[in-house]
Amino acid sequence: MKGKDFFHSHWLATGVSALGGLVLTSGAGWTANPDERHSEISKRLADSAKTLENVMASPKRAIPEGTLHHAVCVAIFPSTIQVAVLVGGKHGKGFATCRTGDGWSAPAPLDISGGSCGAQLGGQKIDLVLLVTDEKGMQELASGKLKMGIEASIAGGPVGGHAATVTTNADILSYSRTRGLFAGTNLNGSVITEDEADARTLYGSPLPLAEILAGRTQTPDAGRIFVNEVAKYAGQSRQKV
């Protein structure tokens, strides 16, 4: 085999392996045992809370206090898997909570999937924190299927300091922590959808995403660590602009 052909074949084989790993990883959390499913969801809620704690641990790289206090909703996807083989892809599970008249809503299970085009090849795990900044973004999120960059605009959020106001017009601000083979992630075109199966496991019966985010259901014990961590940094009432 010629050198050039071998190089292309090697890249393709590596990429297929990476994509296969993504599929296996994205399905690894599924189990037919309800107790195991609930345990896995509880762990992911704790990991989501820990992600926000880690993001806020370094003042120079933390989300500004004013930005968090302005957020209408907060969504966190811990250890989201990203691969890139000519066309990138990502998949992850997480939770969102939105402000209500009584504080933050119970956590709503979500999926994130999709990708961006590029010529990179590799794989990484990314912790994602998304801040919904306005009513439009919240309504699109609550619809059960949000395509970022289309139904709602998205931009990288400011870091460090103690910004008092948000100057961007983006509906969603994104933050990421990267621990893999290549840095950076593009969320345009990625889709956030409600995870009906996890919601059924967490709450014991089917609950619409909009109902959870509107604060019409009580936060389960497993979800308190997540909601409390968001309230700790984002406050209970929304900061006026």
Whether the predicted model's global pTM rises above the 0.75 cut: yes
Dihedral sign for Cα 169, 91, 58, 100, please: positive
Quick one: average pLDDT of 123-132?
87
6 Cβ contact partners less than 8 Å away, ≥ 6 residues apart? none
Alpha-carbon span 61 to 160, nearest angstrom: 5
Q: What confidence tens digit (pLDDT) does each residue in 184-232 have?
A: 567 888 999 999 999 999 999 999 999 999 999 999 999 999 999 999 9
Q: What confidence tens digit (pLDDT) does each residue in 83-109 have?
A: 665 555 668 999 999 999 989 999 999
Choice between 37 and 1, residue whose per-residue pLDDT is larger: 37
Dihedral sign for Cα 94, 76, 184, 125, please: negative
Give yes or no for a contact between 138 and 217, defined as CB atoms under 8 angstroms apart: no
Q: Which of 38, 19, 144, 30 is nearest to 82 (CA)?
A: 19
CA–centroid distance for 62 within its chain: 17
In whole numbers, what is the pLDDT of the chain averaged over residues? Answer: 80
Share of the chain above pLDDT 70, in %: 71
Quick one: average pLDDT of 135-163?
89
Alpha-carbon span 171 to 60, nearest angstrom: 24
pLDDT at 170 over 60: yes
